[in-house]
Amino acid sequence: MKKSKKARENRFKRMHKYYSLTGFYTFVGASLKKAVPTILFFVVALFLLDRYVIDFTDLFTHITNTYAPLHILGVFFLSESLLGLIPPEIFIAWADKTVNPIVFLSLLALLSYLGGVVSYFIGKWILKIPSVYEYMEVKMKKHLRNVRKWGGFMIIVGALLPIPYSMTSMAAGTIDYPFKNFLLFGLLRFLRFYLYAIAIFSLV
């Protein structure tokens, strides 16, 4: 029992040393420094725009009445599958004006998670096309390097922070990261949506 506990402690120390030496903690710290101001800016901008420029309640109600929810969810799914082109926060704000905000927020979280799965397989597919792979190797150089170094921890960071999750997922597929582990760590995507909704739902 004591031997097992000591082995776990040694393993933890080795992991801690590895992540320290490879700059993982520095990367997370830098990401948080970028993420926190971005999140605060978005929340404050949303509040000011809603108060002085655009009535978001009317805007999102109009969108909800004009476009079928399936269409909006479809656009979101495509965005989350293809490099995260549209900020998820816009769709979270939209969810608050639907008939059942929690249900639609959960659908958004699920679609973002599934979009990551699609991106993962796109990453695997890229390997089969040399010209595309070479292009993506350049475009995703940073993400590929980080996923190769930090594996699951990089996926956790991508799932929680405002880093393009689709890019991280694609990089995971490209390096053939274990799919089961990817699915497990990616579940934190749900937590991100619920945490962001706490702030956004109170403003719009």
* Alpha carbon 161 to chain centroid, angstroms: 6
The most confident of 15-24, 49-58, 81-90, 180-189, by mean pLDDT = 180-189
Q: What separation, in Å, do the N-terminal and C-terminal C-alpha atoms of the chain show?
A: 54
Q: Is the pLDDT of residue 204 over 60?
A: no
Higher pLDDT, 89 or 106: 106
Higher pLDDT, 47 or 149: 149
Residue 24 pLDDT: 74
Gap between the Cα atoms of 46 and 152, Å rounded? 33
For the chain, the C-alpha Rg in angstroms (whole number) is: 19
Q: Are 138 and 169 in contact (CB under 8 A)?
A: no
Gap between the Cα atoms of 144 and 157, Å rounded? 14
Q: Is the pLDDT of residue 151 over 90?
A: no
Q: Are 93 and 56 in contact (CB under 8 A)?
A: yes
* pLDDT, tens digit, 9 for 90 and up, residues 52-76: 777 666 777 777 778 888 999 999 9
User: What's the pTM?
Assistant: 0.74
Query: Which phi-psi region, left, alpha or beta, contains residue 100 (left: φ > 0; alpha: ψ -120 to 50)?
Result: beta
* Tokens representing residue 158 in the block: 């991508």
Could you give the angle at the alpha carbon of 109 between the alpha carbons of 108 and 113, nearest 5°? 115
How many CA atoms, within 13 angstroms, populate the side-chain half-sphere of residue 36? 5
